[in-house]
C-alpha cells in the first residue's frame, strides 16, 4: 500500500477549476519538496545537477531550467510569471531582484545554529501551507517516518537486535573524507532508524567534518559506511593504510549507493533505506 495515500491526496490536492500555482524553485531542496507535495514547478535551477546528485524523487517533465542555483537567470524567471519563488540562503542577496518577478520566500535550512533536519521539516510544512497542501505534507512526513523506522527494523533483524555503532562518510579523495555527524541528514537517518551514530562533536552548518582518512582509525569498533561514488577508490582501498583500518580488518566496512545528503525530509527516508541496504550486506559479526 506504499504511496497509495499520497497518490490519493495528489488527486484531490487542488480544488476543481483552480489555477495551479506557478512556482519557481531556486534550490534542489525546493524542487524535492514541491515534487513531494504534488506541485510541478514551472521553473527550477540546475535540473541536470538535480538528476545527477539528488535523483529521488524524479522531477516531473515540463520544468524550465532557469540557470544555476547561485546565478539564476532573472529574465527567465520573470518570463514564467511565477506566483511564488522558493529560494534558500544561497539566493538571499538576490531577494530584492527576485521580488521584481513575483513573491519570494527564502528558507535557511542549513545552519550551525539550529537543527537542520528539524528546520527542513518546518520549512516543508510552511511551504505546503502556502500552497494549500498541508494535508499532503503531513502524509509525506508520516510516510518518511514509517520508511525510516522500517529500515531500522530490517537492520536490527539482520544483526540479531544488536547493531554496532555506525559512522557515515563520503570519501572525496585518497587524502580527504567528510565524516557526517550531528546536524547532518545521515545522522537524522541513523537516529530515526534507532541506530547509534559513532561520531561525536559539535554541530556544523552542513553536519560534517573534513579530515584525512587516517583519522577514521578511531572508529575501530564501529561499522563505517561510505556513500558512493568515489572515483579514486582503488588508490585508497588498496593502500596499506586502508587495509590496516580496524573496521576493514573486521569486515565492518560497506559502500552506500549514491544518495543525496542535503535534501528535504524525504531524503532522510532515501538515506535510511540506502544505509539499511549497505548494513544488511555485511556479515552480522562483531556486534557488542
Instruction: For 249-280, write each residue's pLDDT tens digit.
Output: 999 999 999 999 999 999 999 999 999 999 99
Statement to judge: residues 164 and 244 lie in one domain: yes
Q: How far apart are CA 224 and CA 218, in angstroms?
A: 11
Statement to judge: residues 104 and 166 lie in one domain: no
**214-234 tens-digit pLDDT:** 999 999 899 999 999 999 998
**Residue range of the domain that includes 264:** 160-280
**60-91 tens-digit pLDDT:** 999 999 999 999 999 999 999 999 999 998 89
Final residue belonging to a domain, choices 65, 81, 108 = 108
**Assigned domain for 166 exists:** yes
Q: How far apart are CA 276 and CA 281, in angstroms?
A: 9
What's the structural domain count of the chain?
2
**Assigned domain for 152 exists:** no
**Assigned domain for 115 exists:** no
Statement to judge: residues 104 and 164 lie in one domain: no
Statement to judge: residues 10 and 77 lie in one domain: yes
Question: Residue 187 above 50 pLDDT?
Answer: yes
**Assigned domain for 137 exists:** no
SS3 6: helix
Residue 184: closest CA among 79, 127, 125, 112: 112
**Assigned domain for 27 exists:** yes
pLDDT of residue 224: 97
Statement to judge: residues 93 and 177 lie in one domain: no
Final residue belonging to a domain, choices 92, 108, 124 = 108
**Assigned domain for 24 exists:** yes
CATH number for the domain spanning 66: value is: 3.40.50.1980
**Assigned domain for 130 exists:** no
**Assigned domain for 150 exists:** no
Cell of 239: 593502500
3-state secondary structure 124-163: HHHHHHHCCCHHHHHHHHHHHHHHHHHHHHHHHHHCCCCC
DSSP string computed for 226-278: EESP-TTHHHHHTSHHHHT-HHHHTT-EEEEPP--SS--HHHHHHHHHHHHHH
Reported pTM: 0.89
Name residue, grid cell 547509534.
196
Amino acid at each position: 500500500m506504499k504511496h497509495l495515500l499520497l497518490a490519493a491526496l495528489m488527486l484531490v490536492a487542488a480544488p476543481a477549476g483552480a489555477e495551479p500555482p506557478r512556482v519557481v524553485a531556486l534550490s534542489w531542496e525546493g524542487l524535492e519538496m514541491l515534487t513531494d507535495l504534488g506541485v510541478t514547478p514551472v521553473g527550477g535551477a540546475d535540473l541536470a545537477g538535480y538528476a545527477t546528485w539528488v535523483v529521488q524523487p524524479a522531477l516531473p517533465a515540463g520544468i524550465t531550467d532557469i540557470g544555476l542555483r547561485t546565478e539564476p537567470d532573472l529574465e527567465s524567471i520573470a518570463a514564467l510569471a511565477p506566483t511564488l519563488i522558493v529560494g534558500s540562503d544561497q539566493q538571499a542577496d538576490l531577494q530584492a531582484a527576485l521580488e521584481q518577478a513575483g513573491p519570494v520566500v527564502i528558507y535557511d535550512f542549513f545552519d550551525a545554529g539550529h537543527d537542520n533536519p528539524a528546520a527542513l521539516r518546518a520549512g516543508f510544512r510552511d511551504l505546503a501551507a502556502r500552497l494549500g497542501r498541508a494535508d499532503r505534507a503531513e502524509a509525506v512526513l508520516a510516510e518518511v517516518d514509517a520508511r525510516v523506522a522500517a529500515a531500522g527494523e530490517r537492520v536490527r533483524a539482520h544483526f540479531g537486535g544488536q547493531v554496532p555503532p555506525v559512522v557515515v562518510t563520503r570519501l572525496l579523495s585518497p587524502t580527504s573524507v567528510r565524516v557526517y555527524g550531528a546536524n547532518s541528514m545521515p545522522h537524522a537517518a541513523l537516529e530515526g532508524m534507532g541506530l547509534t551514530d559513532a561520531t561525536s562533536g559539535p554541530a556544523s552548518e552542513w553536519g560534517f567534518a573534513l579530515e584525512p582518512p587516517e583519522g577514521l582509525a578511531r572508529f575501530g569498533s564501529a561499522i563505517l559506511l561510505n556513500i558512493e561514488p568515489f572515483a579514486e577508490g582503488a588508490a585508497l582501498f588498496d593502500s596499506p593504510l586502508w587495509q590496516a583500518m580496524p573496521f576493514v580488518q573486521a569486515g565492518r566496512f560497506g559502500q552506500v549507493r549514491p544518495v543525496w545528503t542535503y535534501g528535504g525530509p524525504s531524503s532522510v527516508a532515501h538515506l535510511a533505506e540506502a544505509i539499511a541496504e549497505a548494513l544488511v550486506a555485511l556479515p552480522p559479526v562483531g556486534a557488542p
